[in-house]
Structure 1
Amino acid sequence: MQATQAIDFELDRDYIELNQLLKLAGLCDSGGAGKQLVASGAVRVDGLPEQRKTAKIRAGQTVQLGDVLIHLRDIS
């Protein structure tokens, strides 16, 4: 699966929960909707399927949903 859209997400804390990242990146309307996306098996973290809805995502990691790839960067 090739990503066609890339989002650089600046992280202002140690980590963000996966469902909240999906919401803040604009890929879903709410944290609950983010949890449903993760539960459906549609989300990959660093290329591997991720099923933990509140997995801690840190700077340097990448999250993919469909053709969208989110790169997490440290704000500093």
Structure 2
Amino acid sequence: MKITIKDDFIKLGQALKLAGLVDSGVDAKFVIQNGQVKVNGEVDTRRGKKLYAGDTFEFEGTVVTVK
């Protein structure tokens, strides 16, 4: 799966919502804080983590590439 961003970066919580993997920012906050999200293959618990084109994130087996 891919998401396209208009700006230089997107924050991890926003990216999860954009990809349709969570319903709200609150849901994103909990799954990130619980260590359920990987960024570029490593668990990241920062909701504000900036993702740039080429980065990937994974949640519940779905891998998403930022472009």
Both structures adopt the same fold (TM-score exceeding 0.5): yes
Counterpart residue type for residue 63 of structure 1: F
**Deviations 1:19-56 (Å, cap 9, x if unpaired)?**
11101110011111101110010000000110111111
Does the Cα contact within 8 Å between 2:17 and 2:24 map onto a contact in 1? yes
Q: Give 5+ residue unaligned stretches, structure 1.
A: 1-6
Gaps of at least 5 residues in structure 2 are none
Task: Kindly name which structure, 1 or 2, has the bigger radius of gyration based on alpha carbons.
Answer: 1
Number of residue-to-residue matches in the alignment? 67
Give the percent of matched residue pairs that are identical in Structure 1 and Structure 2: 34
Q: TM-score, normalised by structure 1?
A: 0.84
Cα RMSD over matched residues? 0.7
Aligned partner (choices 50, 61, 66) of residue 67 of structure 1: 61
The reply on whether 1:39 has 2:33 as its aligned counterpart is yes
Q: Which amino acid aligns with 2:33?
A: A
Relative to the length of structure 2, the TM-score reads 0.94
